Amino acid sequence: MSPAKTSTCLAFAALMILLSACATSQGHRPEDKRRAIIDMQQETLDALYKVRPQARTQIASAPGYAVFSNANVNVIFASFGGGYGVVQCAGDQGRTYMKMGELGLGLGMGIKDFRAVFVFHDRATLQRFVDSGWEFGGHADAAAKASDMGAAVGGEALLDNITVYQLTEAGLALQATVKGTKYWKDDALNAVP
């Protein structure tokens, strides 16, 4: 591997560690963090059902879904983000707590706090997401919301047998980036108490 590629990989790894430390759920004890994630999950689903009522039926009939909270910062040519969430199997067959981090290149300015809901259309796709969790693709959007002012944007996309809904929670951002996003299991929160 060339020195430039090695430096890039090391920088990406350092950023992922930094983001995973910054992008944690509330609380200090694992049970507090799990409770905060479950609360965020329910609040996000309630908000989604208000803007996309048909999502309730879609989620109820799916083998599982995931809900993530993500904070994203865009500074001229770079985009950084991190967050946390949970994958919920259908019929309350179990939860997998996860973290996420992202790094992107492209034009952008601003900060965006958003929630994402992934609806898995088959069990194999759900399992692949939990086990490897990579996503890569282009991203372009404009979002504006501050506190209770502005309008939440509810985007929807179908990718690799997953329907993805995005709800802007707060922030102001204008971006057109190519991002690499990594989702991984949160070993501390998935440990049996």
What pLDDT is attached to residue 78?
65
The structure tokens listed for 109 are 């300015």
Rounded mean pLDDT of the chain? 74
What's the rounded Cα separation, in Å, for the pair 134 and 183?
Answer: 6
**Residue ranges of domains in the chain:** 3-190
Maximum pairwise Cα distance, the chain: 51
Q: Is the pLDDT of residue 163 over 50?
A: yes
Query: In which band, very low, low, confident or very high, does the pLDDT at 133 lie, cut at 50, 70 and 90?
Result: confident
pLDDT in tens, 175-187: 444 556 788 899 9
What pLDDT is attached to residue 82?
83
What's the rounded Cα separation, in Å, for the pair 83 and 102?
Answer: 9
What pLDDT is attached to residue 172?
46
State which amino acid sits at residue 59. Answer: I
pLDDT in tens, 20-32: 444 455 678 999 9
pLDDT in tens, 53-108: 999 999 999 999 999 998 766 666 666 778 899 999 987 778 999 998 877 666 55
Q: Is the pLDDT of residue 13 over 70?
A: no
* C-alpha closest to that of 166 among 141, 189, 192, 131: 141
Q: What is the mean pLDDT of residues 161-175?
A: 68
Query: In which band, very low, low, confident or very high, does the pLDDT at 11 lie, cut at 50, 70 and 90?
Result: very low
What pLDDT is attached to residue 37?
95
Q: Where are the beta strands (DSSP E) in the chain?
A: 64-89, 95-120, 134-146, 149-150, 154-159, 162-185
What pLDDT is attached to residue 164?
86
Query: In which band, very low, low, confident or very high, does the pLDDT at 191 lie, cut at 50, 70 and 90?
Result: confident
Query: In which band, very low, low, confident or very high, does the pLDDT at 168 lie, cut at 50, 70 and 90?
Result: confident
* C-alpha closest to that of 139 among 69, 52, 74: 74
The structure tokens listed for 2 are 């060339």
How far does Cα 26 stand from its chain's mean position?
16
pTM: 0.72
How far does Cα 60 stand from its chain's mean position?
20
DSSP state of 160: T
